[in-house]
Amino acid sequence: MEKSKVLVVGGTGYLGRRIVKASLAQGHETYVMLRPEIGLDIDKLQMLLSFKAQGARLLEASLDDHRSLVAAVKQVDVVVSAMSGVHFRSHNLQLQLKLVDAIKEAGNVKRFLPSEFGMDPARMGHALEPGRVTFDEKMEIRNAIEEANIGHTYISANCFAAYFVPNLCQMRTLLPPKERVNVYGDGNVKAIFMDEDDIATYTIKTIDDPRALNKTVYLRPLENILSQNELIAKWEKLSGKALEKIPIPSAEFLASMEGTDLANQVGVGHYHHIFYEGCLTNFAIGDDGEEEGSLLYPKRPRRDPRWLRRPLQAQPQGGARSGAHATSSGHDEAEVLPELLPRRRWGIAGCNSGDDGMSAVRLGMKRKSVTVAGDDGKDKKIKKKRSAESRRNLAGIWRSEVGGAARCLWWHVVATGGKEGSAGVDAAERGKRGSENDGKQIVELI
């Protein structure tokens, strides 16, 4: 089947740039909307030029010029909007109504993916003010799409990992805490953390998939479902340093928004829904209009994936074994993994960057040793290293080879619990020559 032509609106934004790259990587003829105001931003102009060099086409259009919008969407089969919807730019969401009008008039667009990518607004009718406006506006756009009979897919990607994981879900910082960490409630509520590159990959995979047409696709890879306590435990294991846990009761947390600015009030409300109510995982997937992304696009068949559709908050009696995450089916993840999980994991462990260091660590997770070429040209075997220092060094090399600072360190932590495979050790050994102290520097950062 011929792949659809894709127009990305908001292609220079935080998620939009990743969607453009994912579309190009998956072989779609990719267009990026060039809005007049971008001409004043040198960084975005340079990004657009880099997209063009990679094969993307730039389409000049303005959300304030209906004719230009119609002309732009007439050239493609699918429109993906990645316009920012954070509270201080929530009006951007309503600008998408102009896109809906243009798509309706053009009549040729097979599918529209509006800017959502977070919590499912259809399940947030109870959301707290003032953050509720974001969900209300997203529902307004959904209603307009459906009233116009436009084919659509809604992507619910939960928490962007880079904003929640390195900081252990702390507000007002993206860095790991040094001495103490705020724990929301008992810290056991499950949330879902998605790597932004993986969100983009899943998004593009849906656009030609009839199974995702006129449906909400939830991204719930097993490896990405963690409680705050589990994140903290993994960080402590990697850093070798215990943090003081400060439990924050629900009422106290909500009271913290009083007298603060709008941004903080919105953030407190959203955090409360995620980490106290469990709004990302306290429902089952399975209605006619819903699908789960990692089931639609698995790396290999899974024997019994049905439990992934269930609510994920329930815990088995007695808890999980050390080093294993409890699943809602009552099994330890350690028991489920060999049967249900793909060999090359998606989600946090996936990253799909193509980087040698990242791929080596990911592929070496279950191997005891690996054969590599030595400096003398002869093959040699390197065995696993399990010391805390080797894990720290690997994390440092990870940062230096992949980029992304503390964020990329966490992909390793969450995916493997700090246990590198031997291929990853090889990547670390190679990287040490140019960055011998990176591991120590990252650990000292906390």
Strand partners, 184: 248
* DSSP character at residue 419: -
Crossing angle of helices 422-432/388-402, nearest 10°? 70
Contacts of 48 (CB under 8 A, 6+ apart): 11, 12, 32, 34, 38, 58
Residue 423 identity (one-letter amino acid) = A
Residue 252 identity (one-letter amino acid) = E
Determine whether 138 is an active site residue.
yes
Nearest residue to 60 via CA among 31, 98, 26: 31
Q: How many CB atoms lie within 10 A of CB 91?
A: 11
**Pairing of the two strands 244-248 and 111-113:** unpaired
Q: Is 133 exposed, middle or buried (0-12, 13-18, 19+ CB in 10 A)?
A: middle
**Pairing of the two strands 180-184 and 244-248:** parallel
- Residue of 104, 138, 190, 234 marked catalytic: 138
C-alpha–C-alpha distance, residues 271 and 263, integer Å: 12
Which DSSP string do the residues of 304-351 spell out, in sequence order? -GGGGGS-S----TT-PPTT-PBPTTSSBHHHHHHHHS-SS--GGGT-
Torsion of CA 201, 353, 381, 324, to 10 degrees: -50
**Structure-token pair, residue 165:** 């994981």
User: E strands of 137-196, at which residues?
Assistant: 153-156, 159-160, 180-184, 190-194
Q: Quote the distance between the C-alpha of residue 119 and its chain's center.
A: 12
C-alpha–C-alpha distance, residues 201 and 205, integer Å: 6
Catalytic residues: 138
